[in-house]
Amino acid sequence: MLKGHLDAVLLATIGDEALHGYAIIEAIRARSGGHFDLPEGTIYPALHRLELAGLLASRWVQPDGGRKRRVYALTDSGRRSLVERRAGWRSFASGIDLVLGART
């Protein structure tokens, strides 16, 4: 469970790469050092929601081998949102750190 930080994780993972859903799951697993292994039922609806909100744009791609993929990229709005959400996470995490006792 990503506890309200799913959108930030998705936006940060896509970054400048333009990934498709399945690859996003793998990228999150890899980048998080195995901490997060999100089910498809989590990410697909989230991608749709972020696209509807104008933070992501998708297009269908037909690779040479393999089946069609829906590929997502950040919009300008998405990039701005990522900056905000990163700051929001830092603020949130520092608040929790203060209460739980700093990372000593």
Partner DNA sequence: TTCAACGCCTAGTGTCGCTAGGTATAACTT
Partner DNA sequence: AAGTTATACCTAGCGACACTAGGCGTTGAA
The distance of closest approach from Cβ of residue 87 to DNA in the complex, given in angstroms and rounded to an integer, is 17
23 binds its own copies (CB under 8 A): no
The distance of closest approach from Cβ of residue 46 to DNA in the complex, given in angstroms and rounded to an integer, is 6
CB 10 within 8 A of CB 46: yes
Binding mask 45-74 for DNA (x = CB under 7 A): xxxx--------------x-xxxxxxx---
95 binds DNA (CB under 7 A): no
98 binds its own copies (CB under 8 A): yes
Pairwise CA distance, residues 23 & 96, whole Å? 31
DSSP E strand boundaries for the chain: 19-20, 56-61, 69-74
The distance of closest approach from Cβ of residue 66 to its own copies in the complex, given in angstroms and rounded to an integer, is 26
Checking DSSP bridges between strand 69-74 and strand 56-61, what pairing results, if any?
antiparallel
